[in-house]
Amino acid sequence: MFENQEKTNIESLGEFGLIDHLTGQFEPKQKSTEKGVGDDAAVIDFGGKKALVSTDMLLEGIHFDLAYTPLKHLGYKAIQVNLSDIYAMNGIATQVTVSIGISSKFPLEAIEELYKGIYLACEKYGVDLVGGDTSSSRQGLVISVTALGYADEKDIVYRNGAEDGDIICVSGDLGGAYVGLQLLEREKLVYLENPNIQPDLEGKDYIVERQLKPEARKDVIQLLKEAGIKPTSMIDISDGLASEILHICSQSNKGCKLYEDKIPIDPMTYDTARQFNLDPTICALSGGEDYELLFTIKQLDYEKIKNYPDISFIGYITEPSAGKNLITKSGAMHELKAQGWNAFNS
Amino acid sequence: MFENQEKTNIESLGEFGLIDHLTGQFEPKQKSTEKGVGDDAAVIDFGGKKALVSTDMLLEGIHFDLAYTPLKHLGYKAIQVNLSDIYAMNGIATQVTVSIGISSKFPLEAIEELYKGIYLACEKYGVDLVGGDTSSSRQGLVISVTALGYADEKDIVYRNGAEDGDIICVSGDLGGAYVGLQLLEREKLVYLENPNIQPDLEGKDYIVERQLKPEARKDVIQLLKEAGIKPTSMIDISDGLASEILHICSQSNKGCKLYEDKIPIDPMTYDTARQFNLDPTICALSGGEDYELLFTIKQLDYEKIKNYPDISFIGYITEPSAGKNLITKSGAMHELKAQGWNAFNS
């Protein structure tokens, strides 16, 4: 059908470029659409609380490898990834729908394992599974989840509200999911070469769990509420710290200064990255899949949360003309670039 | 992982059996969840209008064959299939999210074609595209759509409200999408045997369009509203008339009598089915993918719509003890069985 037409390679656009390209011309017409494409979740007004909607698809061979991903963990993660988007709007996640495409190689017990993980995540986070769809698939396992939630209008936090001087905060620690993935990939290769060798993941539970069983930061949303803080902007870290802060800066039309020595990295992440000859800071900046929350607060709010052990203060927002920069441990300044996981380069 | 465990073949459960099996034990906990799994869409209360949510996934090689499915049509159909579920709740569809997994064999222009169809459907039905996700896929094209809509609580029509004596109604005509598919499959085989032979679809536009470019029946919902009728139960016909009426009967705990001679079948569907040595009634009962609305009304409401040319009155609801039966043209009575398209047998 496209024989005689000009062809453009999708990889040249990248994921965000592609989404922009495909959806940029779409103008919402429904009065109830308060926010469409372009944030962690859409915002919809059905007359009461604002409804939040977010969706994500996980594909075998792209987003997960069944060689080292237990199906129960996969179900759990598929839910977490979506809940994380609702929390990133400062909302309460309430429902999910789950569509799966499964090849006939899976017995029922395998799908039950997948659903055990889905249920566990729903149970733990208090969300309801309200719909879905199962189909056979000729293409391996596909999981598509849509998460719903709500928030009062005054509580919703978008990506575009950061102001000069706001403090950039991040929850938890970063880079662990990426380094955990390197470990799992290495053990897979060892296993493929010699199936008699048992995987050597001893003592690495934390980073392996960061990869296989991430936790959406509902607790951080509650903590901020209790502290009386509404972030000025927020996003969840799915593609890496650098990519996410650049989203906030571009949507807020601001610059930023990030301090390398303030970026939270767990010692196990640090040491394991070093074993792989990886720079731990780059793992944190570009690794992705940590599902921590990145947000900005007014300086006045700093006193209220400065003693929370699970929140790190990693920089501040600047005028756009100052650029988007990382100050290294040695004091040098580098332009921040998104080298986050890109679905079309992998 | 499942080497030493008992294995159950998924095909033995069928699609509905699998969904029941996987989701049957799930108890909604959110107060806002008014209806979870088990109808065309979930119903959620965020304090104003009730929100309706429905989701469907289309997989290459299972739900569509790119050999004869233009991508623009595919995008259009992916939206229609989901809107149809919202209308089947007597709701107004307002937003969709679209996730796609695409292999690198597709150039950007191919994805643009897909989105042209998505936009056309959104435009025509007045719904907004509010979110989504694109990923590369190693496994062919995957499209997952979630549709959102709303309704006043008093207007929502479930599958479980049919009462004894209610008249069973169906919009449009049935079987065309299935017969159109047979035609496309035949021409594909001819083409594979001899690529120089052009497909012979002349004069078959209607049934080919029924398969490739279905239209969700928003107009029927409006028509019923104008006529002052609220159906007692409703479902859209994705799996075939027999399967859908059995859903209404089992969820309403009723029986039914369907009359073969009342089932609306277009002459082109009829003639083409005969050319394929297919029984046109079986195509209508079991073919599926017509995306017409099947609904029941109180006898008192019959006068209000008896003259609408696009609505057929095909039987009535009975006590459950009377069974679920089809009265053939010869006057014989047969038990209705769902032989609808089953994703796990195909």
Q: Using 50, 70 and 90 to split pLDDT, how confident is the model at B41? A: confident
Measured between beta carbons, the chain A residues lying within 8 angstroms of B111 are: 10, 18, 22
Q: Does B133 contact A107 at a Cβ distance shorter than 8 Å?
A: no
Nearest CB neighbour to B10, from listed A101, A111, A343: A111
Q: In what order do the strands lie in the sheet with A233-236?
A: A233-236, A293-297, A167-171, A311-318, A255-259, A324-327, A333-335
Q: Which residue has the higher pLDDT, B19 or A314?
A: A314
Task: Report the C-alpha gap between A40 and A56 in whole angstroms.
Answer: 10
Task: Report the C-alpha gap between A279 and A242 in whole angstroms.
Answer: 14
Sequence-distant (≥ 6) Cβ neighbours of residue B342 within 8 angstroms: B14, B15, B239
Q: Does the pLDDT at position A170 exceed 70? A: yes
Q: Does A11 contact B55 at a Cβ distance shorter than 8 Å?
A: no
Q: Does B139 contact A59 at a Cβ distance shorter than 8 Å?
A: yes
Q: Does the pLDDT at position A194 exceed 80? A: yes
Q: Does the pLDDT at position B35 exceed 90? A: no
Distances (CA, A) of B58 to A100, A112, B142, B145: 10, 22, 6, 8
Give percent above pLDDT 70 in chain B: 89
Q: Does the pLDDT at position B341 exceed 50? A: no
Measured between beta carbons, the chain A residues lying within 8 angstroms of B97 are: 42, 53-55, 146
Kind and range of the H or E element at A61? none
As a whole number, mean pLDDT of residues A324-332 equals 94
Q: Which residue has the higher pLDDT, B201 or A148?
A: A148
pLDDT in tens, B151-184: 998 999 999 999 999 999 999 999 999 999 999 9
Q: Does the pLDDT at position B27 exceed 90? A: no
Rounded to 5°, angle at Cα A209 from A205 and A215: 140
Task: Give the per-residue pLDDT at A6.
Answer: 58
Give the number of A-B residue pairs with CB atoms closer than 8 Å. 302
Task: Give the per-residue pLDDT at A345.
Answer: 34
Task: Give the per-residue pLDDT at A103.
Answer: 85
Q: Using 50, 70 and 90 to split pLDDT, how confident is the model at B344? A: very low
Nearest CB neighbour to A108, from listed B13, B51, B57: B13
Task: Report the C-alpha gap between B95 and B122 in whole angstroms.
Answer: 8
Task: Report residue A270 as tokens.
Answer: 């640090």
Task: Report the C-alpha gap between B338 and B16 in whole angstroms.
Answer: 11
Q: Does A130 contact B344 at a Cβ distance shorter than 8 Å?
A: no
Measured between beta carbons, the chain B residues lying within 8 angstroms of A10 are: 102, 104, 106-108, 111, 136
Q: Does A49 contact B46 at a Cβ distance shorter than 8 Å?
A: yes
Task: Report residue B292 as tokens.
Answer: 């017409």
Q: Using 50, 70 and 90 to split pLDDT, how confident is the model at A1? A: very low
Distance from the Cα of B92 to chain A's closest Cα (Å) equals 11
Task: Report residue A179 as tokens.
Answer: 């380094």
Q: Does A130 contact B36 at a Cβ distance shorter than 8 Å?
A: yes
Task: Give the per-residue pLDDT at B264.
Answer: 98
Question: In this structure, what are the phi and psi dihedrals at residue A24, rounded to the nearest 5 degrees?
Answer: -60, -35
Nearest CB neighbour to B108, from listed A1, A13, A100: A13
pLDDT in tens, B228-256: 999 999 999 999 999 999 999 999 999 99
Q: Using 50, 70 and 90 to split pLDDT, how confident is the model at A312? A: very high
Distance from the Cα of A126 to chain B's closest Cα (Å) equals 7
Distance from the Cα of A120 to chain B's closest Cα (Å) equals 11
Task: Report the C-alpha gap between B289 and B63 in whole angstroms.
Answer: 10
- Find the range with the poorest average confidence among A113-117, A133-137, B93-97: A133-137
Q: Does A46 contact B42 at a Cβ distance shorter than 8 Å?
A: no
Testing the interface with B: which of A139, A212, A342 to mutate, by most B Cβ within 10 A?
A: A139
Task: Give the per-residue pLDDT at A19.
Answer: 63
Testing the interface with A: which of B108, B114, B119, B158 to mutate, by most A Cβ within 10 A?
A: B108
A99: helix, strand or coil: strand
Task: Report the C-alpha gap between A117 and B194 in whole angstroms.
Answer: 49
Residue of B nearest to A41 (CA): B131
As a whole number, mean pLDDT of residues B293-299 equals 98
Task: Give the per-residue pLDDT at B103.
Answer: 85
A346: helix, strand or coil: coil
Q: If we measure between CA atoms, which residue out of A43, A64, A40 comes closest to residue A52? A: A43
Q: Using 50, 70 and 90 to split pLDDT, how confident is the model at A80? A: very high
Q: What's the predicted TM-score (pTM) here?
A: 0.89
- Find the range with the poorest average confidence among A271-285, A295-309, A316-330, B198-212: B198-212
Measured between beta carbons, the chain B residues lying within 8 angstroms of A7 are: 107-109
- Find the range with the poorest average confidence among A243-247, B24-28, B194-198, B288-292: B24-28
Task: Give the per-residue pLDDT at B263.
Answer: 98
Q: Does A50 contact B46 at a Cβ distance shorter than 8 Å?
A: yes
Domains and CATH numbers, chain B: 14-154 (3.30.1330.10), 167-335 (3.90.650.10)
Judge contact between A268 and A210, C-beta under 8 A.
no
Testing the interface with B: which of A3, A34, A108 to mutate, by most B Cβ within 10 A?
A: A108
Q: Does the pLDDT at position B77 exceed 70? A: yes
Task: Give the per-residue pLDDT at A39.
Answer: 76
- ipTM beyond 0.90? no
Q: In what order do the strands lie in the sheet with B128-136?
A: B33-35, B42-45, B50-59, B142-151, B92-102, B128-136
Distances (CA, A) of A262 to A178, A205, A314, B101: 19, 24, 5, 37
As a whole number, mean pLDDT of residues B316-333 equals 96
pLDDT in tens, A26-60: 677 777 777 777 677 778 888 888 899 999 999 99
Task: Report residue A75 as tokens.
Answer: 């179900």
Q: Using 50, 70 and 90 to split pLDDT, how confident is the model at B47? A: confident
Measured between beta carbons, the chain B residues lying within 8 angstroms of A35 are: 130
